[in-house]
């Protein structure tokens, strides 16, 4: 799976250092968990992501790489959450913010969701104050579903019927 400016590669064991660099950055994680992850928390999540990737090779958790210079840019996911439903999500290193990469990732993940026969609905969960992500999701056709919580933090849920 690729886009115009990015390559999406399922994580492998050797990608942990890049993942750790992303999720241990407090600025990056502010609207995800509210705090930077410790190395132990990151390793636990990373191991779970690798397991999901083995179970679902056509979707899963992806390392996002710059097509131009192969630099690590961030993380994206397209993962099953219920029968017929998958969640899209992404997080980028700060130097890639505000340059249209979020739109490109959301479009790529949404298009991939349309290609996977077992997916009929996509969801996305964001911090309610993240206006940029709300706009990105709206641009892809997602609609507000409800406000709630995600791991104890305020969250806004969006949905797209495919």
CATH of the domain at 53: 3.40.630.30
Asked if residue 148 is part of any domain, the answer here is no
Asked if residue 53 is part of any domain, the answer here is yes
Q: What SS3 state is found at 2?
A: strand
Q: What's the whole-number average pLDDT of the chain? A: 97
Asked if residue 72 is part of any domain, the answer here is yes
Asked if residue 101 is part of any domain, the answer here is yes
Choose among 60, 132, 125: nearest CA to 102: 132
- Polymer length of the chain: 162
Asked if residue 68 is part of any domain, the answer here is yes
Choose among 123, 60, 53, 135: nearest CA to 87: 123
How many structural domains are present in the chain?
1
Strands 121-126 and 6-10, by their bridges, are unpaired
Find the domain containing 16 and state its range. 6-123
Asked if residue 118 is part of any domain, the answer here is yes
Strands 85-92 and 121-126, by their bridges, are parallel
Asked if residue 157 is part of any domain, the answer here is no
User: Rounded to an integer, what distance in angstroms lies between the CA atom of residue 116 and that of residue 120?
Assistant: 9
Please determine, for residue 152, whether its predicted confidence score (pLDDT) is greater than 90: no
> Band of the pLDDT at 31, cuts 50, 70, 90?
confident
Asked if residue 140 is part of any domain, the answer here is no
Alpha helices (H) in 3-69, listed in sequence order: 16-23, 26-29, 39-55
> How many Cβ atoms are within 10 Å of 90's Cβ, its own excluded?
23
> How many Cβ atoms are within 10 Å of 18's Cβ, its own excluded?
19
33-82 pLDDT tens trace:
989 999 999 999 999 999 999 999 999 999 999 999 999 999 999 999 99
62-72 pLDDT tens trace:
999 999 999 99
User: CB under 8 Å to 92, separation ≥6 — which residues?
Assistant: 28, 64, 73, 74, 101, 102, 105
pLDDT at 133: 95
User: Rounded to an integer, what distance in angstroms lies between the CA atom of residue 4 and that of residue 111?
Assistant: 13
């Amino acid at each position: 799976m690729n886009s115009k400016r990015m390559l999406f590669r399922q994580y492998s064991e050797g990608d942990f250092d890049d993942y750790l660099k992303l999720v241990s950055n407090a600025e990056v994680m502010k609207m995800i968990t509210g705090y930077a992850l410790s190395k132990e928390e990151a390793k636990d999540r990373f191991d779970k992501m690798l397991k999901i990737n083995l179970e679902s090779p056509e979707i899963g958790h992806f390392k996002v790489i710059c097509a131009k210079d192969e630099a690590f840019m961030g993380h994206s996911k397209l993962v099953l959450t219920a029968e017929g439903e998958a969640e899209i999500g992404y997080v980028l290193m700060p130097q890639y913010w505000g340059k249209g990469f979020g739109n490109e990732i959301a479009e790529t993940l949404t298009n991939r969701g349309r290609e996977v026969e077992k997916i009929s609905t996509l969801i996305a969960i964001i911090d309610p104050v993240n206006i940029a992500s709300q706009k990105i999701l709206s641009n892809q056709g997602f609609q507000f579903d409800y406000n709630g919580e995600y791991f104890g933090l305020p969250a806004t849920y969006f949905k797209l019927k495919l």
